[in-house]
Amino acid sequence: MPDMPTYAIARTAKLASVPVTHAGRRAVIAGTRIGGGDSQAALIRAQRRTAEQLFTVLGTLKGGAMKFGQVLSVLEAALPEELVAPYRESLTKLQDSAPPMSAKSVNQQMVKSLGTEWRGKFQEFSDVPSAAASIGQVHRAIWHDGREVAVKIQYPGAAKAVMSDLNQVARMGNIFAFAFPGIDLKALLAELKLRVAEELDYLHESKVQRKFAVAFDGHKDFFVPHVLSAAKEVVITEWVEGKSLARIIESGTQDERNLYGRLYLRFLLSGPRIAGLMHADPHPGNFRVMPDGRLAVFDFGASAELPDGLPLAMGTLLRVSMNNDSAGIEAGLRAEGFIRPGISIDPEALRDYLSPFTEPAQVSVFKHTREWLREQFARTSDPRNPDWAIGLKINLPPNYLLIHRVWLGSIGVLCQLEAEFSVIDEFKEWVPGFQDENAVS
């Protein structure tokens, strides 16, 4: 069974190391001020070092600490690459190397969810998992009616460890307020705990997946596997053959990259209108190209309920940003809660900071590249650039938590794909408030 940490003392000690060193940094700042030194420079250095430590500690713990770290990582563009690279590497290792549960643990989880005679529900069941992740693993099996199925089983103790971590992180609020002064941590954590609780509840996930499956049933471009059976820690769905989007990133042709990059973005943007929901885990491993060319979508544990579709303000802000209306951008972001009361911000720097969101829609066809993405991050990672400070001042409203996660995540995946297509056409079709005013000549 994988090491899903439930050892409270050891985990608390790791998290507690952050406030101890943080207090030392605050003392250095005070000493610099008293001694007549550059206290502002000392403050920036301390914020960077505290953020670095936060990323490192959160990235080396599984469970809720890692979940919070993943959400906080949307701010990584505000930090130098050398600081966030180890954090990113820690997350990658955790996600890619989760050891499988023993056959005994698998049986215990299946008995708990489906009863002692659970094997009778299957014609065949492989005890060897076909995939493993941070809170569960997937087994391939043959259902009693002969259909191939995927059986996702949650690790024992996962829910307890995750929620315990989030409660511990909540007690470190003043540390996050220091490292990221624009963030309303209390509201962000409250929303995150709700979303993570849903992600841990496979019954909830199955309900969401059923809604998506019905909404996209028969769609010419997308396929969502139907759920056959579900319990709180086990969910059984149709098995899907195909090639992961990650393989397209590795070795796909340019035509494949363009086509599936466009379909990938279209699914994420169209979900709120078609299903009233947004798929909120845009990792390429959750998307698979089927033999018939459709894009299959998996893992609905993280989702945003948007019964009225994407927020109208989202398209409006994009439009205002593209029109270079700096004052309008600031006013709109303040109205939506992205800039907290009392936080001063340079409107021109704010407009530049938002360019990764608007630049792809400034032209009729946009080429996503790693080089372009690195340039955007370089702009926001240099403390000498005004954009660097903007990242520390931007707040993430709770109702935008998952939307923001999807937006940033999708930009990263599209640049990995190096996909070239008309982003503006997708925005016009699926982002309310964007309208046709942005037509490119």
Tell me the torsion sign for CA atoms 349, 352, 357, 361: positive
CB 296 within 8 A of CB 286: no
Residue owning tokens 């709120």 = 272
Of 241, 260, 263, 237, the residue nearest 250 (C-alpha): 260
User: How far apart (Å, rounded) are the C-alpha atoms in residues 410 and 310?
Assistant: 16
Q: What is the pLDDT of residue 440?
A: 41
Question: What is the CA angle 433-436-441, rounded to 5?
Answer: 140
User: How far apart (Å, rounded) are the C-alpha atoms in residues 295 and 292?
Assistant: 9
User: How far apart (Å, rounded) are the C-alpha atoms in residues 345 and 353?
Assistant: 11
Close Cβ partners of 45 (under 8 Å, ≥ 6 residues apart):
none
Catalytic residue among 165, 201, 281, 299: 281
**So where are the chain's domains?**
8-97+161-177+190-198
Per-residue pLDDT of the chain (441 residues; tens, 9 = 90+): 444 444 344 544 555 554 434 444 344 434 444 444 445 566 556 666 666 666 566 655 555 555 565 555 444 444 445 544 554 454 444 444 456 788 999 999 999 999 999 999 999 999 999 887 667 889 999 999 999 999 999 988 877 777 776 776 666 666 666 555 555 667 767 766 777 778 789 999 999 999 999 999 999 999 999 999 999 999 999 999 999 998 999 899 999 999 999 999 999 999 999 999 999 888 888 899 999 999 999 989 889 899 999 998 888 888 888 887 778 888 888 888 888 888 888 777 777 777 777 889 999 999 999 888 877 766 665 555 656 667 667 777 777 877 887 887 888 889 989 999 999 999 999 999 887 554 443
The rounded Cα 289 to chain-centroid distance in angstroms is: 21
pTM of the predicted model as reported, rounded to 2 decimal places = 0.74
CB 180 within 8 A of CB 266: no
Close Cβ partners of 34 (under 8 Å, ≥ 6 residues apart):
none
Buried residues in 30-39 as b, exposed as e (16+ CB within 10 A)? eebeeeeeeb
Query: Does residue 127 carry a catalytic annotation?
Result: no
